Amino acid sequence: MKIDPLNASSFALSATQIAKSFGDTEVLRNIHLDLAPGEVVALLGPSGCGKTTLLRIAAGLLTASAGQMQIAGKCVVDGRGVNTPPEGRGIGMVFQDYAIWPHLSVLENVAFPLRMRKLGRSARETRARRALDRVGLAHLAERFPGTLSGGQQQRVALARAIVAEPPLVLFDEPLSNLDRELREGLALEIGTLLRELGLSAIYVTHDQSEAFTIADRVAVMLGGEIAQIDTPERLFASPDSVDVAQFLNIGALIDGHVCSTQGFTCSRNSLKLPDLALSAQEGPARILIPRTAIRLASDGALTAQVLRCQFQGDRYLLHLGLDGDSTRLVCPTDRPAALNSRIPLAIDADRLRVFPH
C-alpha cells in the first residue's frame, strides 16, 4: 500500500523534529521517523546514541523537549505541552526482562492489560486465548511462566503486548540478556511472528544481526540523530557516511586521493584503483572496501599478507594486511590460507564507496 507522506494519519507512527535534552545535555536532535502500517523498524546504535530515549518518548514514559508525534493518526506528543500518558496511547510493549508475573498463569498474564481496562472476565479470557493462539501457545494457557522455556516466555510477552490489538508494539531490547545462540533463534522467531501477524513495531537493539533479522528497515542512530534509515541490504550497499560504514563494520576504510586521470591512490601508495577515475569527485577521499568487494583471484592486481585465518564453521575469514599501510582487509573464502602467506586479490570496483573529505 502506498502511503501519502503528507498525511501523518496514514502511518502507524509519525514523528517530526523530535528533540530531547536533560539539562544542558542534548540526547535527541531533529528526529524524523515514519512507520507504515505493518512495518517493523529497528533502532540500531551504540549505547548512549538516544535509541532507548526515542522509544520511551513513543511509549509516553518520557516527554519530548520539542517536536510532534502521532500514533495511528492521534497526536500524542507536541512540543507545546501535549504528552499523552502510556495508558492513553493504546500501544503494546515488550521489555528486556519480559515482565511476566510468576504467580499468574500464562492466560492470566496475557489477560492482565484487559483487566486493567475493566473488561469483563469472559471477554478477557476469550481475547487472551485468541492472542495465545496467534503466537502458537494456546495449549500452554494454564501453565505458569516458571515451567516455560525462554522462547515460550518471549511469546507470552508478545501475546500480552498484542492482546488489546494495538496499532503499534514497542520492543525495548527484549533479547539483550540472553546468550547469543538463544538470541539468534528468538530473533528469527520474532521476525517471523511480526510478519505473520502484520504488526507495526519499533524494535530497539544494539545488535546488528538482530536488527537485520527482525526489521524491514533499520534506523542507524549515532550521536542523538538518525544517521541513515533504509533496508538492511541498502545500508550495506550504500552507507551514507563514513560514520555509518564504521559502525556497521562493512569493510576497510582507506584514506587517499581521487584523480580524474589516475583514479584512487592510497595515501601510502599501496593501493591504486584506476577504475574509480570516472565515478568519484576529484580530491581527498576515503574509500570503503566492503568484504563483499574482495575475492581471491590468481590474476588479482592487489597482493595482501594473511595476518589471521578465522574459521567460522561454514567458511573462513582471512584478515589481510597491505604493504606500507595499517589498513586491514577481511576476505571471506571457503578455503584456509597459511599465516603470513601472500595472496592475490581482485577488487570489484562496482561495490566500492567513495566519501570525499
Q: How many residues does this entry show for the chain? A: 357
The residue written with cell numbers 529497528 in the block is 42
pLDDT classification of 49: cutoffs 50, 70, 90: very high
Whether residue 7 is predicted with pLDDT greater than 60 in this model: the reply is no
Whether residue 6 is predicted with pLDDT greater than 50 in this model: the reply is no
Claim to verify: residue 169 and residue 280 sit in the same structural domain: no
Is residue 187 a part of any domain in this protein?
yes
Claim to verify: residue 195 and residue 320 sit in the same structural domain: no
End residue of a domain, out of 209, 237, 265: 237
Strands 74-78 and 92-94: unpaired
Claim to verify: residue 187 and residue 227 sit in the same structural domain: yes
Distance CA 75, CA 67 (A): 11
Claim to verify: residue 23 and residue 167 sit in the same structural domain: yes
- The number of domains in the chain is 2
Claim to verify: residue 223 and residue 255 sit in the same structural domain: no
Residue-level pLDDT at 210: 94
End residue of a domain, out of 171, 206, 237: 237
Whether residue 209 is predicted with pLDDT greater than 90 in this model: the reply is yes
- The rounded mean pLDDT for the chain is 87
Claim to verify: residue 12 and residue 44 sit in the same structural domain: yes
Claim to verify: residue 199 and residue 275 sit in the same structural domain: no
Ramachandran quadrant class, 30 (left: phi over 0; alpha: psi -120 to 50; beta: rest): left
Is residue 59 a part of any domain in this protein?
yes
Residue-level pLDDT at 223: 94
Whether residue 4 is predicted with pLDDT greater than 50 in this model: the reply is no
Is residue 243 a part of any domain in this protein?
no
Q: What is the DSSP string of 173-184?
A: STTTTS-HHHHH
End residue of a domain, out of 185, 209, 237: 237
What is the domain range of residue 193?
8-237
Rounded mean pLDDT, 335-348? 90
Claim to verify: residue 280 and residue 186 sit in the same structural domain: no
Distance CA 125, CA 186 (A): 27
Q: What percent of the chain has pLDDT over 90?
A: 47
Q: Model confidence over 109-157: pLDDT tens digits?
A: 999 888 888 889 999 999 999 999 988 899 999 999 889 887 888 889 8
Claim to verify: residue 100 and residue 52 sit in the same structural domain: yes
Strands 251-259 and 92-94: unpaired
Asked whether the beta carbons of 296 and 331 are under 8 A apart, the reply is: yes
Claim to verify: residue 54 and residue 130 sit in the same structural domain: yes
All cell numbers assigned to 334: 571457503
Q: What is the CATH number of the domain that holds 30?
A: 3.40.50.300
Q: Model confidence over 213-246: pLDDT tens digits?
A: 999 999 999 999 999 999 999 999 999 999 999 9
